[in-house]
Chain A
Amino acid sequence: MSLTASRPAEARSLPSRQLLGVVGRDSIGPYTLLRLERGAVDPGTPGQFFMLEAPGRLLPRPMSLCLAPPGELAFLIDAIGPGTHALRALEPGAAIHVLGPLGNGFDLDVARPLLVGGGIGMAPLPYLAEALGDPPVVLGFRSAGHAHAASLMPHAEVVFEPRLVTEVLPDDPGDVLACGPEAMLDAIGARVPGAQLAREAPMACGYGACYGCVVEIDGHYERLCVSGPVLRSS
């Protein structure tokens, strides 16, 4: 399977970095929903991401927007390293710098959307589901414990390993919009040409400066932050 940029990388102006207060943090299964005050920040298109300052760390961390409740921006955090642990530890009253929205989000002009998420890759799907009018959703997790995160999307069909989301995809899945581990996205892309796949990569800057987040697109290393993070299978 090969990937193409979801749309041509276009010049757009860089948003200015804002200091946003922490409103709250909620446990969602094994993950943490970090809620920030929205301020004047544009929540952007579902699938776009923000660079969140991780207190005490040199580099910010890329996170796609999970939910945009009135006056807030909410991010789903899986604490796996020092940066995400620092984000999970944020308490109301603290404030962090936020840069975004960045990158290309999902194309919302779809006739029969089916949302597919794997693990923490479900992060952008609640905001996406809201934008698409609550379409069908399939979520896969590595364990029953992790599957508690599906509480964010109560109507979703949920599977966990050894069952895989690709095993429950309908024969004619329609317009698939997916986010999850690379193996899951590869499997979906191989089966569904034109699927919109939100990829993940470590990013130092998020706005094209560092060339650290490259993935192979059309046979070349391209910056995911500029050409993605939403790509299309071809």
Chain B
Amino acid sequence: MTVPVLNASGCLDALTAPEVARSLDAFVTKTVTPLPREGNEPPRFAETDRGMLNSIGLQNPGIDAFVANVLPRLHELGVQIWVSVGGFSAADYASVCERLDACDAVEVIELNLSCPNVEEAPETAAELVQRARAATSKPLYAKLSPATQDIAETARAVVAAGADGLSLVNTIRALALDRRTLAPALGRGAGGYSGPALGPVALACVFACAQAVEVPIVGMGGVSSGSDAVALIAAGASAIALGTILFSDPAAPGRVRNEMAAEATARGHESAAAIRGAAHDIGVAVVS
């Protein structure tokens, strides 16, 4: 058993970089919404000393064009497809899930419950999951924001509502100022913070949720090496997703996989999967 390596939603376009998508165990799409979205005005990203901010704003062609034009081309790549779903109400999430439920090419639906760059739906994460659950029988992963008082509580609520797994974590809202003008560096003001600075935040969320629920967790946030990945696995993740590192190193999936394997071997394990939950004093419930 090996640890699957995915991309974080919005950090790879399989159609402009098919080789990179094929180097993953599953490709996660950019978030799809009911209607097409142009996205936010530029500048859309800013580098900071330990990470980067983005405010793309869920630019996507909408579910109709996605199903008609994008999904068939993704399917041809021969890699497992996870579709990230977003919206501005529970009805939005449910309608997109219902469309995807009919698509054989879709393996898993990931609910983006926490984009920091658009207006949020008024319902709670659990309510959104519940409506999505009713609309599809496909596996549902809930992607949660780290910016919450008690992420373990949110995790329990979304699992009770029908989530089959968790994607932890989304970016966290942050602000960068142009140091010359002191104006916000991004066109929309604040953005989502990712990269190495998010690593310890993700680790805390994965650790807390792994103790709270018994569903698989895709760990993500600041992973740039096998060592970073092993830390998330030790905290309770059963799969890893790469985000910001893909921007500088498209070959990161293979490299991180090799580094994980080398670290597992050095620790006397056959695979990094054996390290799952090692960070917890008393073994965390492990599910396959």
Residues of A within 8 A of B (CB): 9, 11, 13-14, 16-17, 51, 53, 57-60, 82-83, 97, 99, 201-202, 204-205, 207-215, 220-221, 226
Quick check: B47 and A212 within 8 Å, CB to CB? Answer: no
B42–A211 touching, CB < 8 Å: no
In the assembled complex, the CB of B56 is this many whole angstroms from the nearest CB of chain A, namely 5
Q: Which residues of A contact B10 (CB under 8 A)?
A: 210-211
User: Does B250 belong to the interface (CB within 8 Å)?
Assistant: yes
Chain A residue nearest to B43 (CB atoms) is A202
A146 to B38, CA, bound (A): 38
Answer whether residue B196 sits at the interface, using C-beta atoms and an 8 A cutoff: yes
| B45 smallest CB distance to A (angstroms) | 4
B1 to chain A, nearest CB (A): 29
Contacts of A202 in B (CB 8 A): 43, 45
User: Which residue on B lies nearest to A210, using beta carbons?
Assistant: B247
**Contact call A209/B11, Cβ cutoff below 8 A:** yes
Nearest-neighbor residue (CB-CB) of A212 within chain B:
B45
Q: Is the CB of B18 within 8 A of A17?
A: no
Can you pick out 28 interface pairs between chain A and chain B where the beta carbons lie within 8 Å of each other? A13-B19, A17-B250, A57-B47, A58-B48, A58-B50, A58-B51, A58-B196, A60-B247, A60-B248, A83-B47, A201-B42, A202-B43, A204-B45, A204-B52, A204-B54, A205-B247, A205-B250, A207-B16, A208-B16, A209-B246, A210-B247, A211-B10, A211-B39, A212-B42, A212-B45, A213-B42, A221-B39, A221-B59
Q: A17-B251, A58-B196 are in contact. Are A208 and B13 (CB under 8 A)?
A: yes
Q: Does B131 lie at the interface of the complex (its beta carbon under 8 Å from any beta carbon of A)?
A: no
Task: Please give the distance in Å from B69's CB to the nearest CB on chain A.
Answer: 13
Contact status B247-A209, CB under 8 Å: yes
A144 to B45, CA, bound (A): 34
CB-CB under 8 A from B244, the residues of chain A are 58
Residues in A with CB closer than 8 Å to B17 are: 14, 207-209
Across the interface, do B20 and A58 meet the contact criterion of CB distance under 8 Å?
no
B190 to chain A, nearest CB (A): 16
Contact B42 A214 (CB under 8 A): yes
| CA gap between A10 and B122 in the complex, in Å | 40
Chain B contacts for A210, CB-based, 8 A: 10-11, 45, 54, 56, 247
Is B165 an interface residue when CB atoms closer than 8 A count as contact?
no
Looking at the assembled complex, report how far the CB atom of B28 sits from the nearest CB atom of chain A, in whole angstroms: 12
Q: Indicate if B15 sits at the interface (CB-CB under 8 A).
A: yes
Top 5 closest pairs, chain A to chain B, by CB:
A208-B16, A205-B247, A212-B45, A204-B247, A208-B13
- Tell me whether chain A's interface is mostly helix, strand or loop, or mixed: loop
Tell me the complex Cα distance, A51–B248, Å: 8
Given A57-B47, A83-B47, verify A215-B42 contact (CB < 8 Å): yes
**Do A58 and B249 touch (CB < 8 A)?**
no
Task: State A222–B266 Cα separation when bound (angstroms).
Answer: 46
B12 within 8 A of A: yes
User: Which residues from B are CB-within-8-Å of A11?
Assistant: 15-16, 18
A220:B52 contact, CB within 8 angstroms: no
Query: Would A209 and B13 count as touching, CB distance under 8 A?
Result: yes
Residues of A contacting B196 with CB < 8 Å? 58
Does B156 interact with chain A (Cβ within 8 Å)?
no
Is B195 at the interface (CB under 8 A from chain A)? yes
B44 within 8 A of A: yes
Whether B39 and A58, one on each chain, are in contact in the complex, defined by CB atoms closer than 8 angstroms, is: no
- CB of B258 to closest CB in A, whole Å: 15
Interface residues of B in 1-48 (CB under 8 A from A): 10-13, 15-20, 30, 38-39, 42-45, 47-48
A149 to chain B, nearest CB (A): 23
Contacts of A16 in B (CB 8 A): 251
Known: A59-B248, A210-B54. A14 touches B19 (CB 8 A): yes
Chain B residue with minimal CB distance to A209?
B12
How distant is A125 from chain B, measured CB to nearest CB, in Å? 25
- Is A212 within 8 A of B44, CB to CB? yes
Which residue from A14, A51, A214 sits with its C-beta under 8 Å from B59? A214
Max chain B Cβ within 10 angstroms of own Cβ: one of A53, A82, A202: A202
What are the residues of chain B within 8 A of A13 when measuring CB–CB? 18-19
- Chain A residues near B44 (CB-CB < 8 A): 211-214
A16 to B20, CA, bound (A): 10
- Give chain A nearest CB distance to B58 CB in angstroms: 10
Using Cβ atoms and an 8 Å threshold, which residues of chain B touch A99? 250
**Contact call B56/A211, Cβ cutoff below 8 A:** yes
Q: Using Cβ atoms and an 8 Å threshold, which residues of chain A touch B54?
A: 204, 210, 212
Which one of A17, A207, A210 has the highest number of Cβ atoms from chain B below 10 Å of its Cβ?
Answer: A210
Give bound CA distance, A53 to B248, whole Å.
8
For B251, the chain A residues whose CB sits under 8 A away are 16-17
